[in-house]
A = this chain, B = another copy of it.
Amino acid sequence: MKRFGQTIRLKPDKAEEYIRHHAAVWPPVLKMIKECNISNYSIYFKDNILFSYFEYTGNNFEKDMEKMAADKATQEWWDVVKPLMEPLESKAPGEFWADMKEIFHLD
């Protein structure tokens, strides 16, 4: 299992809309997340910053992310939520959410 911590900013005044959508994520989107071997997935919010934590239990993360990106329901979901978000200037090339570095873990 591999753990991920990622961060991104919300656009000014878009927090309420983002939070409302995430209180009712479309079932096909949730189903695809599970199919792509992601579990224990939480998103936290404060000061217009988001933090996500999830656990990946598959054996090919890139391939699973390609599968997710090819899913029609997921694409439609991203069309709704991505415009509410503003990636960090410090993100790596190709990132949307920026990966954070795990500097401590205790099982």
Contact surface of A with B, Cβ cutoff 8 Å: 3, 5, 7, 18-19, 22-23, 25, 30, 33-34, 38-47, 49-51, 53, 88, 90, 98-107
Contact = CB atoms under 8 A, between A and B. Distances in A.
Given A22-B103, A23-B103, A103-B19, A42 B46 contact: no
Given A5-B53, A53-B53, A100 B30 contact: no
A75 B97 CA distance: 35
Contact of A105 (B42, B46, B101): B42
Contacts of A103: 18-19, 22-23, 43-45, 50
A101 B47 contact: no
A47 B47 CA distance: 16
A39 B100 contact: no
Contact of A41 (B23, B41, B106): B106
Given A5-B51, A51-B7, A100-B51, A106 B39 contact: yes
